[in-house]
A = this chain, B = another copy of it.
Amino acid sequence: MVSSTQGRISTKDYVYLQLKKEIVGGELLPEAQINELDLSKRFDISRTPLREALQRLEIEELVVRLPNGRLKISPVSVEDARSIFSVRSALEGLVTKAATQNSNERDLEELRLLTELLVKAANLGNNEDVIYYGDQIHHRLYDMSQHKFAVKILNNMNDHIMRYRRIGPNTSHTRSKEAAKEHLELYETIAAGNAEQAEKLMQKHINNSLDAAIQSIEAHLQTQNCK
């Protein structure tokens, strides 16, 4: 392993991103024990940068420290999900309001296109694409809002929420159709420049997706108990 400060990504950051991907992707399951030595061997690095990567995951609550100093992948719970969705709802509302106020024609055209693609995907029953274009739209709104701190928090909340999607069984009964309808109405409200209304619609849109997360979490906890 060589070091470098410019250009190349640091070992610590690479390992952080990789581990986050595995946690969010559901490969590393909740409650799984973490062993620093094993992990450092796996990545072929020393414990020093590994520990820094783990600490970041701990601060972001994807990993928790036990009283004895050991780490494990954070457990999931319905209470946490409610708390996370509440934060996300509030901040997505904030961001959407600001994005609406800041929007220019170019932004609106991009949103229009993405919304159109999302609606088409929903009509075709292509749930993967609905999620993809949904994320694209949210990220466009993040950029437009220029709310640096809110966006940073939202990205973290979204990691947790993505994990909820992945740990549960692949229930295909997503709510693509409703989501598409909500996004269409949202776009029209943003394009009309109605910031307050856009904020409310976004909050509702987020709250409507909480149930799916709860179901996924409960299904996961169920399978864990049966083991």
Contact = CB atoms under 8 A, between A and B. Distances in A.
A215 to B, nearest CB: 20
A189 interface: no
Interface stretch (A119-127, A145-153, A217-225): A145-153
Contacts of A35: none
B5 A87 contact: no
Interface of A: 5-6, 48, 51-52, 55-56, 59-61, 67-69, 79-80, 83-84, 86-87, 90-91, 93-94, 98, 146-150, 152-153, 157
A202 B52 CA distance: 38
A149 B52 contact: no
A93 B94 CA distance: 12
A86 B150 contact: yes
A68 B6 contact: yes
Nearest to A89: B94
A33 to B, nearest CB: 16
A113 to B, nearest CB: 28
